[in-house]
Amino acid sequence: MSITGSKPAADERGHTGRPEDKPSFGTGRGELLVAVVLYALAVFLTVGTISMNVQGTAAPGPQFFPVLVCVLLYGVATALTIQVLRSRSIPDTRKHPGRGNFSPDMLRDLARLPEERAKAGSPESWRTYSDWKTVGMVVGGVAVFTAALNILGWILSAAFLFWIICRALGSKRPGFDAGVSLLFASAIQLAFNAGLGLNLPAGFLGGLL
Amino acid sequence: MDQLSLLLDGFGAALTPINLLWVLIGAILGTAVGVLPGLGSAMAVALLLPVTFSLEPTAAFIMFAGIYFGGLFGDSTAGILLNTPGNSSAIASTFEGHRMAKNGHAAKALATAAIGAFIGGLIATTLVVFFAPTLVKLATVFGPAEYFALAVFAFLAISAVVSESVVRGLAALGIGLALALVGIDGPSGTARFTLNLPQLFDGISIIVITVGLLALGEVFHVASRIHRDPVATQIKTSGKARINLRDIRRALPAWLRGTAFGAPFGLIPAGGAEVPTFLAYGTEKKLAARRKDPEFGTTGSIKGLAAPEAAANATAGTAMGALLALGLPTSATAAIMLAAFQQYGMQPGPLLFDRSGDLVWALLASLFIGLVILLIINLPFASVWAKLLNIPRHYLYAGITVFSMLGVYAVSSSVLDLWLLISIGLLGFLMRRYSIPLAPVLIAVILGPMAETELRRALAVSEGNLGILVGSPITVTLYLVLAGALLVSGVQHLRHRRSRKAGSQEPQELVRA
């Protein structure tokens, strides 16, 4: 009985596949990045609160609530740092059925399900949990779209965005995708300009037509 | 019975051909996003909000009503056929539902789920119609201290009581509260954290935050795993084994029990349907053991599927009541609905029934109409919906990305908003990667400004005396219940950590993040 819906590990010998490297400091501690984001947010709020140009004299004023939020952020950032430093998250194969929104332990107790043992090791051969090449292509595509939107216009930049994401996510037919992309982008432009009266940027094409 | 005549007026407004069309569109869209794993009603409403600006508010909300329930009709389909629930609200339905499907009863399981969702939603919405005025009356005695207590209750219940990790839940809460602080402070007129950019004086648009976290963040997350996670295999729905009268008679008590579990949870900010669905499933399991039911846990019990399905939609139904009457969102989806009201310049809460009574009753009527339409399009055609699972994933996510950019650009025609959207999308990706819950961010962004205003108002009245925050029986009760829930969940976390430590002596493999 599994509330994760995970399949049993295909290869139970997974952990013997590779010689044990000596873990470097960062191994299994990628979550420190979250702590850095939290600290950065807290520092940003602190600076903003101190340098705030306060209007009015009502007490409690506009700085009161931000101070509370700052305290919360410093607190959770520190707690998270301690937690990550104390225990590495390896092997990184734990499933999170509620995506962190729900405690699987609590749900399991409510439904009277037996305790699940985390499966050790993983049968996969990847070195990093996230596929950074694909993420890079998608994020890069979105960034290029945003930068090019006003220059190339909606149709060309949206078609490019659609195409690059198909490519990144494993489509094998670039030519066909290009057609689908142009059709999709043009249909949106038509529907919006004609139907909703919303102006999407025409870009340099607008000058030609 | 004042409500009945008001509801009839609502039906009058909702039953025009054009509004029926909007319910139908909403129901189809809602079912579709429910069927597709990883998408849900919250994301669908977030993506559609900017596009629906040019609609009349009644039409938009009638469509949202269809989406709101539709997501819960669809989410069990993928769970039953693929054993990968479309949303976490369908996990509990998946256990017995997938067993039934594996044993050749896929069509029966899909029908049981659809009827369960209908019954749960129908009873809960009826309860809302009759008890909404009582809730409104209750809400009118709420002062600033009570509203602040309610907000604190929602914040901590969602971030600390039900979440997987207290620290990560509170981190998400902090991020949400911080995002909500940007912009001009209403009471004093002070610009806060705007970096002197005029575009930020109105704050970070709620659309940028929800689309970034729910849609773009999901696309980035899928990109990071699409070439690594195994693909689930789908069970064919062909074959006989349709639902018959005998099945309905067996499932009926379970549907009703599930509704009884689900309905109260809509009023509690416990994050949605997960807790009641698991409670309903656990009860059916216990009852099956007592009856010595051989199907449960082996070939799939219809009751074990019926109860959680009804519970999920009953929760959604009463959650709408809490949202409309108290202005309290009890789940991430309800939070997006609240944001939708705010986009149209309406504030859910006791005053909404006075100021926009027509719209509220039309919305409640369209919830009923939406349920009927959803039953009609789901009961006979569940296997058709399952075909959506064959859409190539790259087209699906490419389309979602383009729609996200389009929606955010449509709101303000501002490229700065698009950059902000990408940053928040990356934040959503980071949070998914490390299982930091998203629901507390959404609740904090929506309720944060209200919490701040009410806290400052209360303290201004009492001239800084903190005693006012616990000065009434309502606030004291809320804080005591909250403290009790925190205590119970704290003990729970500790107990499980201890039992896990005792049993985790397995070998480990290193995977770099």
Tell me if A101 and B188 make a contact (CB, 8 A cut-off): no
Cβ-based contacts of A161 with chain B (< 8 Å): 398, 401-402, 405
A101 with A138, same domain: the answer is no
Per-residue pLDDT at A21: 54
- Coil, strand or helix: which one is B471? coil
Quick check: bond before A60 cis, omega within 30?
yes
Question: For chain A, how many structural domains are there in total?
Answer: 2
CB atoms within 10 A of CB B186: 12
Q: Is residue B202 part of a domain?
A: yes
Q: Is residue A116 part of a domain?
A: no
Which of A61, A78, A110 finishes a domain? Answer: A110
Per-residue pLDDT at A16: 38
A87 with A30, same domain: the answer is yes
A147 with A86, same domain: the answer is no
Q: Please say whether the beta carbons of B265 and B315 come within 8 A.
A: yes
Return the half-sphere exposure (C-beta side, CA atoms, 13 A cut-off) of residue B107.
Answer: 12
Q: Please say whether the beta carbons of B220 and B425 come within 8 A.
A: yes
A21 with A99, same domain: the answer is yes
Cβ-based contacts of A69 with chain B (< 8 Å): 174, 177-178, 181
Which of A56, A78, A110 finishes a domain? Answer: A110
Residue B279: which of B250, B307, B314, B300 has the closest Cα? B307
A20 with A94, same domain: the answer is yes
Separation CA B405–CA B413 (nearest Å): 11
Can you give the residue range of the structural domain that contains B98?
Answer: 2-496
CB atoms within 10 A of CB B91: 29
Q: What average pLDDT score do residues A18-24 get?
A: 55
Q: Is residue B459 part of a domain?
A: yes
Q: Is residue A125 part of a domain?
A: no
A20 with A86, same domain: the answer is yes
A92 with A136, same domain: the answer is no
Residue A168: which of B434, B224, B131 has the closest Cα? B224
Separation CA B511–CA A92 (nearest Å): 6
Q: Which two tokens stand for residue A19?
A: 């010689």
Q: Is residue A123 part of a domain?
A: no
Q: State the complex-level ipTM.
A: 0.88
Cβ-based contacts of B163 with chain A (< 8 Å): 100-103
Q: Is residue A9 part of a domain?
A: no
CB atoms within 10 A of CB A12: 12
Residue of B nearest to A154 (CA): B406
Q: Is residue B510 part of a domain?
A: no
Q: Is residue B426 part of a domain?
A: yes
A88 with A33, same domain: the answer is yes
Q: Is residue B509 part of a domain?
A: no
Q: Which two tokens stand for residue B363?
A: 């919305």
Tell me if A170 and B227 make a contact (CB, 8 A cut-off): yes
Separation CA B47–CA B408 (nearest Å): 9
Per-residue pLDDT for B416 more than 80? yes
pLDDT digits (tens, 9 = 90+) for B477-502: 999 999 999 999 888 888 888 877 77
The mean pLDDT of chain B is 88
Q: Which percentage of chain A shows pLDDT scores above 90?
A: 43
Per-residue pLDDT for B458 more than 70? yes
Q: Is residue A126 part of a domain?
A: no
Return phi, psi of residue B145, to 5°: -65, -40
Residue B72: which of B102, B33, B101 has the closest Cα? B33
Can you give the residue range of the structural domain that contains A52?
Answer: 14-110
Question: Is residue B191 within a helix (H) or strand (E), and if so which, with residue range?
Answer: strand B191-192
Q: What average pLDDT score do residues B125-154 get?
A: 91
Tell me if A100 and B285 make a contact (CB, 8 A cut-off): no
A187 with A148, same domain: the answer is yes
- Nearest by CB to B174, which of A1, A73, A126? A73
Cα of A205 to nearest chain B Cα, Å = 18
Q: What average pLDDT score do residues A172-190 get?
A: 92
A27 with A71, same domain: the answer is yes
The DSSP output letter for B331 is B
A27 with A98, same domain: the answer is yes
Cβ-based contacts of B410 with chain A (< 8 Å): 192, 198
Question: For chain B, how many structural domains are there in total?
Answer: 1
Q: Is residue A3 part of a domain?
A: no
Per-residue pLDDT for B205 more than 70? yes
- Nearest by CB to B510, which of A21, A96, A197? A21
Per-residue pLDDT at A122: 47
What sign does the CA torsion over A54, A59, A61, A67 have?
Answer: positive
Q: Is residue A6 part of a domain?
A: no
Q: What average pLDDT score do residues B217-231 get?
A: 86
What is the DSSP annotation of A120-171?
PS-S---SBSS-HHHHHHHHHHHHHHHHHHHHH-HHHHHHHHHHHHHHHTT-
